[in-house]
Amino acid sequence: MKLIESVKEFGGYLNRYTHYSVACQSEMTFSMYLPPQAAHSNVPALYWLSGLTCTDDNFRVKAGAQRYAAEHGIALIIPDTSPRGDSVPDAPEHYDLGQGAGFYVNAVQPPWDKHFRMYDYVVEELPHLVEMHLPLIPGVKSISGHSMGGHGALIAALKNPGAYRSVSAFAPICHPLNAAWGKGCFTAYLGENAALWQAYDATCLVQAGAHLPEILIDQGTADEFLVDGQLQPEAFQAACLQAEQPLSLRMQDGYDHSYHFIATFIGEHIAWHAKALR
């Protein structure tokens, strides 16, 4: 790990690191907010997964989360959304495929399979790295995310019961198997094998028996991607109801898909995670 930036905020430090990722076979960048409590003792962590086209910079600049993380004594760990670099394949004509659009899956189709293993990176490699080198309580972590990152947060928690103390999401892609974004990326990254698709679909995972203590989702009613069927929270809600999976789906009137929406409710999400992380 190489520290490339450090800024003091709310008594703690917003740091940025680079390191070589074995999972992604490339240099990766992530940001991390260490609250003031980390100067005296190890702290729990909240992982944040960002959405399509984002880097680690979007959340740390736009969400205003560091204030609440400092209040509750929680570290924020903010990975990039994909591997990047000249040697990493890309589809520059498609914003929803390639660099900036890792979808938090382990790709099995060329040319993506060498580098696009974001699931392993987020679930296994990055936690091991930061817990080894930074003042974190080993294994005490929660996860959240937005849009594509909300999809990532849901599948990470559902596929690994017990690994995260809590999970929440903002406007997640709940049923990518049945959405244009998911169909495009899943075909490219995973091929035509429907079983592989279902293994990275939150709605399918709940239908197959995955279960968590509780899930929190906020969804804006004025979200343009809700209207065009990319997100499908209703499908996830129906699957949770059928499976008796506790879900708090809060439809927030008039809010869109932007970071204005995230900034409005991120304090409530961090407080909700803080209860579980205690």
Catalytic annotation, pick one of 21, 147, 166, 168: 147
Angle subtended by helix axes 65-72 and 259-277, to nearest 10: 10
Closest-CA residue to 63 (of 4, 144, 154): 144
Is 223 marked active-site?
yes
The DSSP letter of residue 257 is: S
Is 123 in contact with 154 (CB distance < 8 Å)? no
User: DSSP string of 194-209?
Assistant: HHHHHTT-HHHHHHTT
Parallel, antiparallel, or unpaired for β 167-170 and 215-220?
A: parallel
Q: How many CA atoms lie within 13 A of 98 on its CB side?
A: 12
Q: How many CB atoms lie within 10 A of CB 197?
A: 21
Catalytic annotation, pick one of 21, 96, 223, 273: 223
- Catalytic residue list: 147, 223, 257
